[in-house]
Structure 1
Amino acid sequence: MAKEASDLTTIDLFVDEKRPGRPRTNPFPREVQVKINKRNQVKRDKNKGLKRVEFKVHHQLFEQLDDMAKDQGISRSELIEKLLTEALQAPV
C-alpha cells in the first residue's frame, strides 16, 4: 500500500515524518519560558535600580499620556517618570 500525504485514514503512517516549521530550540514549554523571561527582566530592572509602580488612571488621562509620550518620542513610562520628577522638584 502506498502512502498518500492527503490520506487521513492512515495518519499513523506519517507519525515519524518531520513537520515543516521552525525547529524547537528551547526544552521548556511556553508557560515556563514566559516565567523565566519575566524573572530575568525583574533581575535586570533591579540591577538598574528600577522599582515597579502600578496604578490605575482614567481612560482619558491614559490617552493624554500616550499622545504626549508619542509627541516627545519617549515611552509612556519615561514620560510619567519625567512628570513625577518635575513635580517633586517644583517649589511648594
Structure 2
Amino acid sequence: MAKSYSDRNTIDLFSKTRGRPKTRPLTRKDQLKTNKRNQRLKEKKLGIKRVEITLEAETLEMLDQLCELDSIKRADWIASQVALMHAKPKIKKRLSEAQEVKEEVLEEE
C-alpha cells in the first residue's frame, strides 16, 4: 500500500508510535492549500468576488489613512465609494444608456 501525504485515513498505519499523532499529519504547505480552498468556497457561497489591483505606495498610504478615519477595511471603503458614484444622476444616466446599447447589440445577434 502506497503512502500519500494528503491521505488522512491511513497515515496512522505508517507511524512508528501508537495513538494519536502529536502534530498535524499534513505539512504546512498542504494545510495552507486546504485552508485557501475552503476560504475560496466560503467566499463563493457568500457571493464575494476577488479583485486584484496594483497601486503606488503613496496611493495605498492615502487609502489607509482614509480607512483609519472611518475605522473600516479597505474593501468596505472602496465598496462605499463605488455605491456613492453609482448613486449620482450622471452616472445613473450613463449606466442606463450603456445598458440600452448592450441590449440592442444582443437583439441584433
TM-score normalised by length of structure 2: 0.59
The answer to whether the aligner puts 1:81 opposite 2:106 as a matched pair is no
AA partner of residue 37 (structure 1) = N
Q: Distance in 2 between matches of 1:90 and 1:61?
A: 24
Question: How far is the alpha carbon of 1:47 from its aligned partner?
Answer: 0.8
The count of aligned residue pairs is 69
The answer to whether the aligner puts 1:46 opposite 2:61 as a matched pair is no
Partner secondary structure for residue 89 of structure 2: coil
After superposition, where does 1:56-71 map in structure 2 within 5 Å? 56-71=54-69
AA partner of residue 79 (structure 2) = E
Q: Distance in 1 between matches of 2:79 and 2:30?
A: 31
5+ residue gaps, structure 1, are 1-22
In terms of fraction of residues, the more helix-rich structure is 2
Aligned residue in 2 for 1:35:
33
Q: Distance in 1 between matches of 2:77 and 2:63?
A: 8
5+ residue gaps, structure 2, are 1-21, 91-109
Q: Deviations over 1:13-56 (max 9, x none)?
A: xxxxxxxxxx41x2100001011111111111111110111111
TM-score normalised by length of structure 1: 0.68
Q: Distance in 1 between matches of 2:57 and 2:86?
A: 24
